[in-house]
Amino acid sequence: MIMVGMISIYALAAVGLSMQFMMVINVLMTLYIIGGNALISRFIGQGRKKRASALLYALGIFAIVLSVFVSIGGYFGSESLFRLMGSEPEVIEQGTLYFQILCLGISLIFIDALLYNALSAAGDTKSSLYIKLFSAALNAFLNYVWIFGHFGFDAMGIEGAAYATLVAYLFNVLAYFILLKIPHAKLNLIPIIRVKDLKRAWDVGWSGALDRGISSLSFLIFVSIITAYGTAELAGYQVGLRVEGIAFMPGFGFAIASMALVGQSLGAGDKNRAFNRGIISGRIAYVFMGLVGVVLILFPEFLVRFFTKDYATIQVASFYLILVGLAQIPLAIVFVYAASLRGAGATKITLKINVLSLWFFRVIPSFIAYKMGYGIIVIFMIMNIETLIKGILYWYVYQKRDWLDTKV
């Protein structure tokens, strides 16, 4: 995003908007990932590695088949998606180029997500750490070479960024396949398809996918409201999101840990340990995210200037960071407790909470505020209030412990 920001504000907005579309595509990944995670973690907790490995193979076949249809639809529908969001012509042109290239590699993205999540559910996050570190370095290097044109290559701009991303995903998938061939790895690929286990994964996954689908739709509508304010506001929001990603990382990390540990503890039949591991993960996450939130509040402009020199974009992104810095602790609770419930297979509960919160406390109030003529800062304030309400809802549900009795 930093390198793309050097091209133009339109390229920055285009890539950011493409990431919103990828969130919608992630909905389809959820169909097999969340249910797969819940089952794999329980199988590992029960000491049934072969059963978990066979499920991984079956989910991989399903992911590849699904990705083909998504790739075709995304490639030919790219321009229409950007037009639907009400983007300016320059953003539509740049975004279509970028997103069409990404769609060519949807199969790689689907497989990478499946393998990353499956290994995490099995308790192996260190392998992914090393794989992702190398691929991130490779991605950054290729961005530098292909976006700006170095070492004899022509400058490809935003297209170069897309190609660099796909090469990084290709490396991830190859590395994971090599890892899965090691006999003592947490998981292997066993070419057995157990329809019963696939059905169990889908039974959990459909409500998780519906949850993500409705959430993604609400985020797209929310972004379209921001887009209506102008390109500077859209770019500022996207830059703010990327900087906030610094705070997200501890939350995501401990959410993954909680999901795996809760699922494995329930697989071993220990409900108290499952509950306590979620609590511990949540405490660590909100300490880390709270500290990063302080940094976002104190140094917003310094962080934003790495991405763009456009004054209007810097102002919008800075206001965004100050506000979201205040919401990092409830956001940490949302991350970890939602992941804990999904690890237990309680996806119907997360569906209800997210739909209620996002639509009634974020999207509808934001639309009303826009129509009444309020500025972008009010939209960001509404977003923060919704995060706080959702955090309270997840805390209440988690403490009730009913989700520990979920059958998978």
Q: Which amino acid is at 136?
A: A
* Under 8 Å between Cβ of 65 and 32: no
Q: Mean per-residue pLDDT for 166-192? A: 92
283: confidence class by pLDDT, cuts 50, 70, 90: very high
User: Long-range contacts of range 81-84, CB-CB < 8 Å, 24 or more positions apart?
Assistant: 81/21, 82/14, 82/17
CA–CA separation, 215 vs 35, rounded Å? 18
243: confidence class by pLDDT, cuts 50, 70, 90: confident
Element (H, E) at 16: helix 9-45
Q: Give the pLDDT score at 346.
A: 84
Write b or e for each residue in 9-22: b if 16 or more Cβ atoms lie within 10 A of its Cβ, otherwise e.
bbbbbbbbbbbbbb
Q: Give the pLDDT score at 207.
A: 78
251: confidence class by pLDDT, cuts 50, 70, 90: confident
Q: Give the pLDDT score at 77.
A: 84
pLDDT at 133 over 90: yes
Look-up of token digits 């396949």: 177
Task: Kindly report the number of other CB atoms within 10 A of residue 268's CB atom.
Answer: 15
Q: Mean per-residue pLDDT for 135-149? A: 92
- Taken as a whole, the chain contains a residue count of 408
pTM over 0.85: no
pLDDT at 4 over 90: no
Q: What residues contact residue 341 under an 8 Å CB cut-off, 6+ apart?
A: 347, 349, 350, 394, 397, 398, 403
CA–CA separation, 171 vs 105, rounded Å? 12
Write the pLDDT tens digit of every residue in 338-391.
989 988 888 888 888 988 898 899 899 999 999 998 988 899 899 899 999 999
Of 159, 147, 8, the C-alpha closest to 96 is 159
Q: What residues contact residue 337 under an 8 Å CB cut-off, 6+ apart?
A: 278, 282, 394, 395, 397, 398
Handedness of CA 212, 213, 218, 223 (dihedral sign): positive
pLDDT at 234 over 90: no
140: confidence class by pLDDT, cuts 50, 70, 90: very high
CA–CA separation, 147 vs 126, rounded Å? 31
What percent of the chain has pLDDT above 90?
31
Write the pLDDT tens digit of every residue in 62-88.
999 999 998 998 889 888 888 877 777
pLDDT at 174 over 90: yes
Q: Mean per-residue pLDDT for 179-186? A: 90
- Mark out the alpha helices in 306-375 (DSSP H runs): 311-325, 328-343, 347-358, 364-371
CA–CA separation, 321 vs 295, rounded Å? 9
- Using left for φ > 0, alpha for ψ between -120 and 50, and beta otherwise, residue 123 falls in left
Task: Kindly report the number of other CB atoms within 10 A of residue 64's CB atom.
Answer: 13
